[in-house]
């Protein structure tokens, strides 16, 4: 690990602890040459999650793309960014924990819909209208009726 102050490659660890989410190890280091202190984070290296698109192409999972889609659905709604980041974290963890390193875009969209349904029903319908490609008012009404039926059960 290169020292950010003098570029020397040897340092010693002075403190080590897990981050709040227990996904990384935070290490305080001290350069052996100049004595400069700096922080590094250690994470587990994982294979990327691959998303199988409707056109049969493959893309590397992009959490920012998913988060941005959910943010658009929640625009002008009382939903915090933290709630959405937590939902995306849960989706990403579920994908990473799966035996397969690939997930279909349909399954990914359904996972996002399920979390949005629990967070905000209006955002859920907005996301569903884009994700499920509603083509007319009947599609909206059908989804709303489905939502109301599940709410009353």
Averages of pLDDT over each 10 residues, the chain, 153 residues: 95 93 91 97 84 94 94 95 94 87 92 93 88 77 79 71
**Within-domain flag for 3:** no
pLDDT for residue 109: 92
Q: Is residue 127 part of a domain?
A: yes
One domain for residues 87 and 126: yes
Q: Are residues 38 and 109 in the same domain?
A: no
Helix, strand, or coil here: 129? Answer: helix
**What pLDDT is attached to residue 137?**
81
Cα 79 from Cα 77, distance rounded (Å): 6
Q: Is the domain of 66 the same as that of 117?
A: yes
pLDDT given for residue 150 in this prediction: 77
* Residue 2, domain member (yes or no): no
CA 95, 115, 123, 84: dihedral to nearest 10 degrees? -70
| CA–CA distance, 121 with 116 (Å, rounded to integer) | 7
Its domain, for residue 15, covers 11-43
pTM above 0.75, yes or no: no
Would the CA dihedral through 11, 12, 14, 18 be positive or negative? positive
What's the pLDDT at 44?
A: 78
Question: What's the maximum distance between 2 C-alpha atoms anywhere in the chain?
Answer: 71
Q: Give a yes or no: residue 5 inside a domain.
A: no
The Cα–Cα gap between 101 and 11 comes to 36
């Amino acid at each position: 690990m290169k020292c950010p102050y003098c570029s020397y490659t040897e340092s010693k660890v002075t403190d080590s602890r897990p981050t709040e989410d227990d996904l990384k190890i935070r290490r305080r280091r001290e350069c052996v040459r100049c004595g400069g202190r700096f922080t590094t984070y250690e994470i587990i290296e994982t294979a990327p999650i691959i998303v199988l698109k409707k056109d049969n192409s493959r893309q590397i999972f992009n959490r920012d793309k998913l988060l941005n889609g959910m943010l658009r659905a929640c625009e002008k709604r009382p939903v915090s960014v933290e709630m959405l980041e937590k939902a995306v974290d849960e989706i990403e963890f579920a994908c990473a924990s799966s035996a397969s390193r690939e997930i279909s875009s349909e399954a990914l969209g359904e996972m996002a819909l399920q979390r949005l349904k629990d967070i905000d029903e209006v955002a859920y319908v907005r996301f569903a209208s884009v994700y499920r490609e509603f083509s007319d008012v009947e599609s909206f009404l059908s989804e709303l009726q489905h939502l109301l039926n599940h709410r009353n059960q």
